[in-house]
Copies of this chain bind each other. A is one copy, B any other.
C-alpha cells in the first residue's frame, strides 16, 4: 500500500479495497480507461451523473451555454445495475464482505469486485484499442445461494455536464438485438449514436420490459440464480458521432454487430495485444522501488489514453477525463505531452504537430484580431484553433469582481513553443518531408507573428518583447521575459535555417510559401536582424539571470510568507493584486523550464539559478515540479530531484483537493504532468539529451533505484537503454539502419545496428 488506500499487485496496476464517496471525482479519473478516442471514467458499473460517471468522446465539441465550448459526455451505454432478491448490490453498497476497484494499466482494463453474503460480482471493462469506438464489459455474478437477480442494463443519457445540457433530443430505437440512442448536440447539431447490446451467457438478453424515458433506455432482466453457477453478462457499446463518419448510425450498429460476432474474450485479446505493443514503446522499467515503478506507469498510461491518435485533435489539459479546460490544448501539449512520443513513437508526435498545422487558420485569425501578422496560437486551443480562453477567467474572491487576466493575449510563448517543437521533431526524426511541407509554413508564420509582436528599441538597438506573461503566471505584464525572448530568438533562427534548406532543395515550394504568407525579402532581413538583436538577458554578477525586466527589484520573500498574507485561502495569487504580484515568488518554473528545453547553459549557471529560483517557487501549477526534478538531476541534486519526482508523479494519484473551486470544475487528470513524468525519468534520471545527431547520457539515479530501462529512437533507429548503478548498457536493435553516435561522460562512441555498448556509470 502506498498512500490514500492505493495498492498495486503487479507493478502494472492500482487498486483500492474501500470506496470513498468524497473522492469520487478524483478516483473516477484515476481509475479511468480510454483509448484516445474516448475516455471512460473508472467508477462503478451502476454509477450515474451524481457519481461523476462519464464517457467523454473526442471531437464532440459543442457550446451548450453559449459561452463554454467543451467535449460531450455521451450517453452511458455501459450502465448496468443489479438487485439480488430486490436488494440493490454494487460497489456503492455498504456492508460488503469484499470490495475492490482495480485499473490494470498493462491492458487498460478496469476491474470491479464486490461481494456480500449472497453473491460475488466481478466486472471487467475496457475501451478497445483495436476498435476505437467500442466499449466492452464482462459482468460475472457468482451466487452463493439460489435467488432472484434483477438487472437493469441499457443506456443512461441523463449525463453530467459542466456547462449546460449538450443534447437537445433523445431518440431510442431497437435495432435487432441492440438498443440505439440517438441524440443531437445543442449548438452544432452533431449527431451522436450510442448502440448497446447486453448478452446473457452469450445470448442477447431478452428484456422482460424496455423502459425508456426522455433520456434513458433500460432493459429489465430477471434471472434465477443457482448456487455456485456463475452468470456471465457481457455488454458491448459502439459510439459514433457525425464528426467521425458520414453515417454514424450504421457505423455504430456495424461495430456493435462485429463485436457480438467476435465475443468478449476475443475483443479483449485483440485490445490487449495492441496495448502490449504500446508498452513495448513507452514502458520504463524501474528496479529498486515498486511504488515508483507503479507511479511511473500510472502517469505514462494516462499520457497515452488521453492522446487522440486517430485524428488531428488536441491533447486536452485534462484529456478525456472530464470536460474541464474545454477538452482543449495548451502549450502543455508540445512541451509536456509530446516529448515522450517524439523519442519513442514519433508518428504520434507528428500527429500532434499536424493538428497545429490544421489549426493554423485559427492562429492566424487570432493574430489578425489583435493587430498582428502571422500565427498567434490560441492559449486554449480546441478543434479549430480559435482562441477559447475568455478575457475574464478568474474571479477576485474578495470583491466578487471578475478579473481580466491576459493568458489569451500576453502569454505569447505558446507560438514559439510550437515552432521549437517542430524543429526538435525534425532534429530527432530527420523528417524533412514534414518540415518542408508543413513545418516551414508554421515556423514562418510564427516568426512573422513574433516580428510583428516585437518592438525595436532604437536607443538600445535591440528587439524587445513587451507586456508578456511567461510560464510564471503570477507576473503578468512583464517585459523581456527570458523564456519568451530566448524561445523567440531560437525559433526565428531555425526558421531562417528552414528557409535556407528550402532555398537549396525546394525553391519553388519556398516561393509558394513566402507568397502565401506575404513574407518579403525585407521581412527575411528583419528576421536576420532579430536573431542578432533580440534582447536576451544575461547573468548578473552573481550568475543569476533575471526572469524579466525589474524582477530583482520586487520584494524578495518566500511562498510561505505569502501564505500568511492571504485574505481568502482560495484567492488567486497573481494579477492584478494577488499576494505574489509585487514579489519574487514564482508560480512555476520559468527559467528552469528554459533550461529543460535547451542544453546550452553550463552546469554552474544551472546550479546558481536553480539555487536562486527554487526557494522562490510556489509550484502553483502541476507543470512545475517535474521541471525542477530534471534540472536537479542535471546538477547532481539527487534528493531534490527525487522529491520533485514524487511530487509530480502523485499530482493526481494523491490528490485530495476539491474538484470545484470558486464555482469552476477543475477536476480530472493533469495530462501534462503525466507526460512530464517520462521526461523526469529520461531527461532527468537517465540524463539523456540529443544534439546534432549525438545521444548523450549522464545518469543520476535516485538512491534506492537499482536500474531503469527504456527504449528510445533516433531517426527510427531504436535503442534499449539500461542504466544501473555500475553501468550503462545501450542495445541497438538489429533492424536499425544507421550507426548512432553516443556520448557518455564526454567519450563519444559509435553504436552500430545490433551492437551492444556497455559503459561504466560514473
- A interface list, Cβ under 8 A from B: 371-373, 396, 398-401, 403-404, 451-452, 454-460, 463-464, 466-467, 477, 526, 549, 567, 575-577, 581-582
Contact = CB atoms under 8 A, between A and B. Distances in A.
A412 to B, nearest CB: 14
Contacts of A576: 575-577
Contacts of A454: 458
Q: Which one of A451, A477, A576 has the greatest number of beta carbons of chain B within 10 Å?
A: A576
A509 B454 CA distance: 39
A576 B398 CA distance: 14
A479 to B, nearest CB: 9
Contacts of A452: 457, 459-460
A403 B396 CA distance: 14
Contacts of A466: 455, 466-467
Nearest to A529: B458
Q: Which one of A399, A400, A477 has the greatest number of beta carbons of chain B within 10 Å?
A: A399
Contacts of A396: 577
Contacts of A460: 452
28 contacts: A371-B549, A372-B459, A373-B459, A396-B577, A398-B399, A399-B567, A399-B577, A401-B567, A403-B577, A404-B577, A404-B581, A451-B459, A452-B457, A452-B459, A452-B460, A454-B458, A455-B455, A455-B456, A455-B457, A455-B458, A456-B456, A456-B457, A458-B526, A466-B466, A467-B477, A477-B477, A576-B576, A576-B577
Contacts of A477: 467, 477
Contact of A577 (B401, B451, B455, B467): B401
Contacts of A403: 577
Nearest to A403: B577
A454 B456 CA distance: 9
Contact of A399 (B399, B458, B463, B575): B399
A746 to B, nearest CB: 42
Contacts of A458: 451, 454-456, 463, 526
Given A399-B399, A401-B567, A466-B466, 5 more contacts: A452-B457, A455-B458, A455-B466, A456-B457, A467-B467
A371 B457 CA distance: 12
A549 B400 CA distance: 28
A456 B459 CA distance: 10
Nearest to A523: B459
A373 B451 CA distance: 25
A582 B404 contact: yes
A455 B464 contact: yes
A477 B455 CA distance: 16
A349 B549 CA distance: 39
A85 to B, nearest CB: 60
A443 B457 CA distance: 21
A371 B372 CA distance: 27
A468 to B, nearest CB: 12
A557 to B, nearest CB: 15
Nearest to A392: B582
A515 to B, nearest CB: 18
A413 B464 CA distance: 22
A760 to B, nearest CB: 52
Contacts of A526: 458
A662 to B, nearest CB: 16
A328 to B, nearest CB: 24
Contacts of A373: 459
